[in-house]
Amino acid sequence: MNEDLRNIIRSIPNFPKKGIVFRDITTLLKDGRAFGRAVDQFAEHYRDARITTVVSTEARGFILGGAIAMKLGAGFVPARKPGKLPAATTKESYALEYGTDSVEIHIDAIKRGDRVLVHDDLLATGGTAGATCKLVDRLGGTVVGVCFLIELTFLHGREHLGNYDVYSLISYDSE
């Protein structure tokens, strides 16, 4: 485990509501060495995977996702909330604790044969990442891996990602 990176992340109790501990990655992002080390670890893990595209979800996922794509020499594709992308999109919905949400990508963002790494800052229940993987699959790409800076293992999000290869740098076993 990356205990040194984990120690840099700020924990904020009772945010956004009572009983939740928010893992604030801004403290890691503002530390140039830690930020670089995290990006380097992702790039090293996928060095031989022949990634052509990194798809990352908004908003914090964009920060590391873009840097990982650059380090791997791959393109970057944003996955966004509905209505945020200007051209034709495809959408996938997923369940939340109360209700649903959706994620979209441009229909021309992924082409058949693309080797795609899906990245987000945090794996909680797996809904957002799972929906993003479905979009990549629908457009003909191959999801080579799904990676996260932080995984909240007690929420079992990994189980909702099926057979996708999941890689996380930091895990929390409880709130």
Beta bridge partners of 105: 90
Sheet of 142-152: strands edge to edge?
75-79, 53-57, 115-123, 142-152, 166-172
Q: Is 112 part of the annotated catalytic residue set?
A: no
Q: Is 6 part of the annotated catalytic residue set?
A: no
Q: How far is CA 47 from CA 22, 31, 51, 105, 144, in A?
A: 31, 24, 8, 25, 12
Q: Which of 23, 60, 104, 151 is catalytic?
A: 60
Beta bridge partners of 119: 56, 147
* φ/ψ (deg, to 5) at 5: -70, -40
39 exposed, middle or buried (CB, 10 Å; 0-12, 13-18, 19+)? buried
Helix (H, G, I), strand (E, B) or coil at 166: strand
Q: Which of 3, 33, 97, 112 is catalytic?
A: 97
List active site positions.
Answer: 60, 97
